Structure 1
Amino acid sequence: MTPDSVAAAARPVSLTPRVLLLAMLLAVLLLYHATFWTMLEIWSRSQTFAHGFLIVPISIWLAWRQRARLAVLPPQASLTGLLLLAGCGLAWLLANAANVQVVEQYAATAMLPACVWAILGWPAVRLLAFPLAYLFLAVPFGEVFIEPLIDFTASFTVAALQLTGIPVFRDGSNFYLPSGSWSVVEACSGLRYLIASLALGALFAHLNCHSRGRRLAVMAAALVVPIIANGVRAYLIVMLGHLSNMRLAVGIDHLVYGWLFFGLVALVLFWCATRWRERPLAAATATPTVASRPAASIRVLLASLAIAALWPGLAWLHRDEAAAAMPAAPLALAAPPGWQKLEAPPAWRAPVAGHPLQWLASYRQETGKVNLQLSWFARQAPDAELLTHQAQPYGETWSLLQHQKRTIKVGGRGLTVREAMLGHGGERMLVWRFYRQGGVTTANPVLVKLLLARGKLLGTRQDGADLIVSTAYDELAPPPRPQLQAFLQAALPMIEQRLQELPHER
């Protein structure tokens, strides 16, 4: 009997489980359509993540290439797959309650391979491992790397300029040359180059390499080369502007040169990678399958449907219909002991999402002036919450120079704050930021989200506050940390008491 005749004989046996799998995958797409729709919206509006439109059809094509081998695999319904599907659903529910969109998207995407595992079994997952894993590249993730990439690009450019003999002064992500000033912004971070290179590198390694070592080498090159190339690109653009007396590479041609350079780097990278190509492996000979039991596959499908439908149902029961509701009571604070409230409000404030109750005030003591920005949310929604991505988290004027976490002593206890040093010309500003979510004071964003999810799912407190204290100082002076610590020592107990007194819904 030939392999083709074996596959043909096996097709009627394996057709039913595969059809059931397709039905289950469609059900997941429908049940979690809102989550998948947010992914599509991001692909359509962001050039960084527009590759998502290609990832999905490529994954489908890669899976289709394995159809003959998949047809002869005996379906093996798996309890492990059902447990994985339940775990993904729980993760989706927690992320939905905590408004963590990227975790929602990863959890919903992970349900697709979990369905394959539950209905067809581990052999099918192993056969389709790459197409299923490649789907995760469609999730729009990576903004967390923007700041490190900006810092690397700025450091690389400044170092290269200094090696060239050009005098340069760096101030955070801004640097100044005799011919003009430059700034490394989000679009110059190289994130879109990195993501595009990773997607292309993974596909190239899968199609052209078979040994694990060569695949890892191609992937490592696809990660490292675009980061270094983006630094070279930024240096060349600055040099072009400097040598042309700021006539070239300062407008739209800046972006054109960048994409041309990236295209050249990608071409060279994958041309070099072709030297590592390996001959295709011989196709494995198909073997007869054992008869499957349609009733077992249907039972697994029904169990998978029940598990997948459970979590959107729970989310619907705990939906927030009045997420933006705010109490009528004003948010007012008395001056802390030993501090005098000034009439003029702070000149600087951090942008926040939505329209929370706010208290903006400046206080003075003998040691100097401290600004307080307190934002309180009775409830939180994706467009009105404590933690959300801001294109300009410190406003249009100030740029971030340095940030870290710092633990200070306040009232005999340790308080962790997120410290940021901002710059604007010769001015500096020291900013401490932390949160109070559901009655817990913390600077840990993950804990804030977990507390929010707990409040929504268990019906406990959901209110949250964003606390920011700041003070300006001269760039030649040391950061006035004792000044902020003295203010929190006097003000934090009364702030926490006032937040506890504010009306909150459950």
Structure 2
Amino acid sequence: MTVVFSFISVLAAWVVLYLDTFPILLNRWNSGDYSYCWLVVPLAAYVAWQRRSLLPESSRPAVKSGYLMLLFVAVLFFLGKASAVDALVFVSMWLCVVAVLLFVRGWKAMKAMFFPLLILAFAIPPPPFINRMLTFRLRLISSDLSVRIMQFIDIPVFREGNIIDLGMIKLHVVDACSGLRYLFPTVLLGIIMAYWFNSRAWQRFVVILATIPTAIASNAVRIAIVGYIARNISLETAENFFHDASGIVIYLLSIVMLVTLSLLLNLFDRGVKRADLADRTYYGQAATNAPLHLIIMAVFLAGMFVLYINAVAGRVVPERPSFESFPMTFSDFEGRREFFSEEIVESLGADDYLSGVFRDKVTGRDILLLVSYYDYQEPQRAAHNPISCLLGGGGWDLSSTTELAPDKAAGRPFKVERLILSKPGARLLALYWFQQRGRIITNEYLNKAYLALDSMSRQRTDGALVRIELMLADGETVENGQKILDRFINSFSSILAPYVPD
């Protein structure tokens, strides 16, 4: 009875602590890229049940390791909440399961349950900024590889960034076509296949290593098939194939490739016999003092919840004027305000924003401006590196990225990150920086670190992301464009200051 009560206590405290995290996690699971996560938990439970016979005959709880794991749980939980990185909070949820296993069974049980715990870790979606960068990279790789496949089968085609030009038809390889939604489930599939079908460690390593190129190649084949159908049959048929059957083709192709590789590797080592899990008949018993440690764990999680509630209640949101009052004419620049649709505003997640196009009266050039401001930042609504947004469409490729030191002579007293994007016949110069609680930061990871620090020390997570862009003229040097943007920053930054409180 005591054992049951201790488990219920831990479960209840765990649910209460992560109550506001579950909707965020399930929302990520409902997205197309991570819909496979719904299968991860039952799959991990099935594998754990299958390996129950490997549990040690006698249990010795790893008490010190269990409490050390609880410390990691607390650190990751509060760090994730403070720095607006929900993936850290998800990891802390997973570590709670590890801590329970250590308290009940110890390290021998951890060894037996390592594989199902590894599978369970796939239920944790990566941070959005990693997701965006992976999406961008995979989109370009898939586009390039699919074009090579089509050229190999004599289809005239060329690529502009993420746009595949088939002559009369242009295919846009958008985020949904990047292959990210196939990458993680393919890696998970490879791990499961390697475990079930291969007995040698090196064989499993090869199979798992092959999952990433398999996922990329399969997705490129899918895009090439869509291109072939669009050119030789009809665009409508290609669209129907993409929406109705292409996902099945990807998974089947990935399975066939990985199974074939796994079987070929087994040809090099037929003499190894896998241990029969059914031959093990002892299941082990929980340690007699395990309930005490579980109850302490429940109290610890409840204490974390109380601290978190107090931290949220003490959050400071500084007063500031709304961007509605921001002057659209200053110095040599005259601008017009632009407004986003409700859908874009919701995806931006900002509490206030300023978007506009400013005409430089001296040069006659147009400068695009976007400032997104957040009263407080939390997972799913925080300032992030804008590279993936700039590269989200239109065929742009990233030519270079450089951190520019402050240039007081040019009128820019702080550093900025400079991006140069290009596509056939066009070049774009973009600058951005994070303006957060009195700091100008260009590194997203450093920005997250300061976000966590200020959240704990000042109870503030407010801040803004500033982005300005200039289309370069034919033959114009980057340095000349930089001078125009520096002049704009010189006049704009002082006006912006009261709208982004120190």
Q: TM-score, normalised by structure 1?
A: 0.81
Moved more, 169-178 or 316-325: 316-325
Deviation per CA, 1:189-214, whole angstroms, max 9, x where unpaired?
11222222222221222223232111
**Distance in 1, Cα, partners of 2:33 & 2:226:** 21
Give secondary structure in 2 for the equivalent of 1:376: strand
Change (3 A) 1:263 1:182: same
| Alignment check: 8 A CA contact 1:410 1:485 kept | no
Q: Which moved more, 1:277-286 or 1:70-79?
A: 277-286
- Contact kept, 8 Å, 1:52 with 1:137, in 2: the verdict is yes
Q: Could you tell me which residue of structure 1 aligns to residue 320 of structure 2?
A: 327
Deviation at 1:183, TM superposition (A): 1.3
Question: Is 1:130 the equivalent of 2:106?
Answer: no
Cα offset, 1:137, TM superposition: 0.6
Q: Distance in 2 between matches of 1:17 and 1:66?
A: 22
Asked whether 1:42 is paired with 2:28, we answer: yes
Going from structure 1 to structure 2, the CA distance change for 1:80 and 1:499 (only over 3 Å counts) comes to: farther
Q: Is 1:342 paired with 2:334?
A: yes
Contact kept, 8 Å, 1:106 with 1:139, in 2: the verdict is: yes
What is the percent sequence identity of the aligned residues? 19
- Which residue in 2 is equivalent to 1:212? 201
Q: What is the rounded CA distance, in whole Å, between the counterparts of 1:162 and 1:148 in structure 2?
A: 21
2:393 and 2:112 mapped to 1: Cα distance? 53
**Distance verdict in 2 for CA 1:72–1:494, change over 3 Å:** farther
Larger deviation: 76-85 or 159-168? 159-168
1:47 Cα offset (Å): 3.2
What amino acid sits opposite 2:439 in the alignment? V
Which deviates the most, 274-283 or 199-208?
A: 274-283
Distance of 1:314 and 1:347 partners within structure 2: 39
Indicate whether 1:256 and 2:207 are aligned. no
Q: How many residues align?
A: 481
Is 1:457 equivalent to 2:450 in the alignment?
no
Give TM-score scaled by structure 2 length.
Answer: 0.82
Question: Corresponding residue for 1:4?
Answer: none
CA RMSD of aligned residues (A): 3.7
Kindly indicate whether the alpha-carbon contact (under 8 Å) linking 2:76 and 2:88 is maintained by their aligned counterparts in 1: yes
Q: Secondary structure at the match of 1:327?
A: coil
- The answer to whether 1:63 aligns with 2:48 is yes
Q: CA offsets, 1:14-37, max 9 Å, x none? A: x97798567535642442233234
CA contact (8 A) 1:97 1:315 kept: no
SS of equivalent to 1:393: helix
- Is contact 2:52-2:283 (8 Å) kept? no
In structure 2, do the counterparts of structure 1 residues 60 and 18 end up closer, same or farther at CA, with 3 Å as the change threshold?
farther
Aligned mates of 2:489, 2:62 — CA distance in 1: 57
Shift of 1:406: 0.9
Deviations along 1:195-239, one digit per CA (max 9) or x if unpaired, are 222222212222232321111122122222121121122122212
Match of 1:92 in 2: 77
State the Cα distance separating 1:417 from its structure 2 match: 0.7
Rounded to whole Å, the distance in 2 between the matches of 1:288 and 1:401 is: 57
Gap runs ≥5 in structure 2: 267-271
Counterpart residue identity of residue 252, structure 1: N
Q: Provide Cα deviations, 1:336-373, integer angstroms capped at 9, x if missing partner.
A: 7xx50125457999964233153645151645533333
Q: Which residue in 2 is equivalent to 1:314?
A: 307
Is the counterpart of residue 82 in structure 1 residue 70 in structure 2? no
CA distance in 1, matches of 2:356, 2:139: 31
Judge conservation of contact 1:407–1:414 (CA < 8 Å) in 2.
no
User: Is it true that 1:152 corresponds to 2:141 in the alignment?
Assistant: yes
Q: Does 1:114 align with 2:99?
A: yes
Deviation at 1:477, TM superposition (A): 3.4
Instruction: Single out whichever of 376-385 and 54-63 deviates more from structure 2.
Output: 376-385
Higher relative contact order (CA 8 A, sep 6+): 2
CA contact (8 A) 2:186 2:212 kept: yes
SS, match of residue 58 in structure 2: coil
* In the alignment, structure 1 residue 33 sits paired with structure 2 residue 31: no
Indicate the residue corresponding to 1:477 in structure 2: 475
- Give the Cα separation in 2 of the matches to 1:36 and 1:501: 37
Aligned partners of 1:323, 1:403: CA distance in 2, in Å?
A: 40
Relative distance call for 1:103 and 1:405 in structure 2 (3 A) is farther
Q: Partners of 2:203 and 2:391 in 1: how far apart?
A: 46
CA distance in structure 1 between the partners assigned to 2:355 and 2:276 by the alignment: 70
